């Protein structure tokens, strides 16, 4: 499974999302908007952070929600804990 956090360098929510993925022992990599404009265009993302799993945007930040909830993460990664 390929997990990417696509975020801006200054996104403070990215750090929290990384902490959550580490808590669940989910391997991931971080890609920054500033360095990967092709990914930003490919996934049509405009806010930060975004969670991409196996080439699909599973969470996209927006004005009403900056991070996926624990319930959302459990659903995305099929976690029963």
Q: What are the extents of the domains in the chain? A: 7-77
Residue 22 β-bridge partners:
none
Does the N-terminal peptide bond of residue 49 adopt cis geometry, omega within 30 degrees of 0?
yes
| 8-36 pLDDT per residue, tens | 999 999 999 999 999 999 999 999 999 99
All residues at 6 or more sequence positions from 70 whose CB lies less than 8 Å from its CB, including other chains: 20
What is the Cα–Cα distance from 16 to 35, expressed in whole angstroms?
21
With CA atoms as reference, report the closest residue to 57 among 66, 67, 44. 44
Does residue 4 sit in helix, strand or coil?
A: strand
- Total number of residues shown for the chain: 81
Does the structural domain 7-77 have CATH classification 3.40.30? yes
| 46-71 pLDDT per residue, tens | 999 999 999 999 999 988 899 999 99
In this prediction, residue 51 carries a pLDDT of 98
The pLDDT-based confidence of 81 (bands split at 50, 70, 90) is low
pTM of the model: 0.93
């Amino acid at each position: 499974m390929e997990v990417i956090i696509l975020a801006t360098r200054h996104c403070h929510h990215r750090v929290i999302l990384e902490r959550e993925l580490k808590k669940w022992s989910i391997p991931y990599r971080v890609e920054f908007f500033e360095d990967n404009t092709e990914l930003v265009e490919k996934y049509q993302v405009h806010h930060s952070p975004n969670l991409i799993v196996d080439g699909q945007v599973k969470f996209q930040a927006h004005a009403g929600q900056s991070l996926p909830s624990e319930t959302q993460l459990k659903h995305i990664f099929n976690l029963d804990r």
